[in-house]
Amino acid sequence: MGGAQSLGLPSAKGPHNVGCTDVMIDNSRQGSFFRLYYPCEASGEVKHPLWIPHYEYCRGLADYLNRDKRWCAPLLNMAFGYYEVPVGWDAPFKAAEKYPLIIFSHGLGAFRTVYSAVCIELASQGFIVAAVEHRDESACTTFFLKSPVEDLEPSTGATTAVQQPLEGSGIPLASPPEMDKEWLPFRKLDTANEDFAFRNKQMCQRVEECSRALDVLTDINNGKLIKNGLPGHLDVSVMKDCIDLKRVAVMGHSFGGCTSILAVSRDSRFRCAVALDSWMFPLTDDIYSKALPPVFFVNSQKFQTSDSIDKMKRLCSNNNEIKIITIVGSVHQSQTDFTLLTGQLLSLAFETKGTINPIEGLNITNRASLAFLQRHLDLQKNFDQWDALLEGVGDHVAPVN
């Protein structure tokens, strides 16, 4: 394993500072929920968000791992609860240019922050990245919001109106009422027989959620007034005219990988897809007879079966812009933050590290993805310096022929 590495998420390498915020549009289960990473202005005081956004995610991870929540959730909270994401929470958006957009789809049992290292790097290189938190019951847990309950006068049962001071009066405005979270747990399957039908249905919902996130960001870019259901200080209307809707890609890991493949086949606004160690099982056979837009498969060495590789090759036969590479020495979790945040003991238990240094593995994933995105989004950047990676040429990479 490369040199010793301290645990934590690395700072991004690109020329932009990175900010992030959470966006929830339409507080119901059918609404859109994503974490937004974006280039931001340098500011004096920077608040870093916690990597685990809420203790409930520790309970959800325990559930997904089939461990007893009573002891496993506190242990997970001890292991991960103090990590921060090295970005500026609600930092002022840098409205200097039009930025290409990436919609990111997480894997099975994950949630919106699990790919922060990849998303931060992309944002630092001049992308806006929306990491969707899916509500198809594939996240370890997620939530939507119930309407706020109005305060009742205990004596009369009548509602009380809070007198709001005028803006600009020097008196702080009262916070909006806290809305109750309705948690949506991970769905465990009862039998193997329902596996394909259910996973395919989930994948189709995930594609709709990716397109819905793109709809929201399109509205923001076009200046439509958007009401964010989550508390925050970033007014997303400052992004008006700053999202390059002609340069949009979809990206995802594992279950998010096949989601990105189906999304690029169904929604023509996505010009290309990056599939990180894609799970191919939920896709139906008809996808392999289609001429898809460009797709880039970045595989780990351990996860893929020969059947999955054959399916990827079938897609290649319809489009020579579809590329497949393997990162030598990597495992399925090498493209997640877990590879950076777990010590040796947890890594042995859950196989979060391969033989490649975790930072080096993620650098390859990021550089190869940037080279591919430059090529197929027609970007005027210097990411073509990593073009050789697209052919599987370089240290720790191999082509899949």
Domains in the chain, start-ordered, CATH in brackets? 17-49+84-147+177-399 (3.40.50.1820)
| 145 beta partners | 181
Least confident window among 102-111, 159-168, 241-250, 273-282: 159-168
Distance CA 294, CA 280 (A): 17
Q: Give CA separation, 134 vs 92, 117, 274, 378, in Å.
A: 27, 19, 18, 29
Distance CA 286, CA 377 (A): 26
**What would the mean pLDDT of 77-95 be, rounded to a whole number?**
96
Q: Say what the pTM is.
A: 0.91
**What would the mean pLDDT of 111-119 be, rounded to a whole number?**
98
Whether the CB-CB separation of 277 and 304 falls below 8 Å is answered with yes
Distance CA 70, CA 164 (A): 43
Other beta carbons within 10 Å of 192? 7
- The pLDDT value recorded for residue 164 is 40
Whether the CB-CB separation of 141 and 59 falls below 8 Å is answered with yes
CA triplet 382, 38, 239: central angle to 5 degrees? 110
Q: Supply the mean pLDDT for the chain.
A: 89
Helix (H, G, I), strand (E, B) or coil at 157: coil
With 60 as the cut, is the pLDDT of residue 31 above it?
yes
Query: Chain centroid to CA 263: how far?
Result: 15
Distance CA 76, CA 57 (A): 9
Instruction: Give the residue carrying structure tokens 């549009």.
Output: 25
Strands (E), 171-310: 181-185, 243-253, 272-276, 295-300
Whether the CB-CB separation of 9 and 114 falls below 8 Å is answered with no
pLDDT (tens digit per residue) in 147-188:
654 433 343 334 333 334 333 334 443 444 567 899 999 998
Catalytic residues: 254, 277, 332
Q: How confident is the model at residue 193 (pLDDT cuts 50, 70, 90)?
A: low
Q: What percentage of residues in the chain have a pLDDT greater than 90?
A: 78
With 70 as the cut, is the pLDDT of residue 1 above it?
no
Where on the phi/psi map is residue 320: left (φ > 0), alpha (ψ -120 to 50), or beta?
Answer: alpha
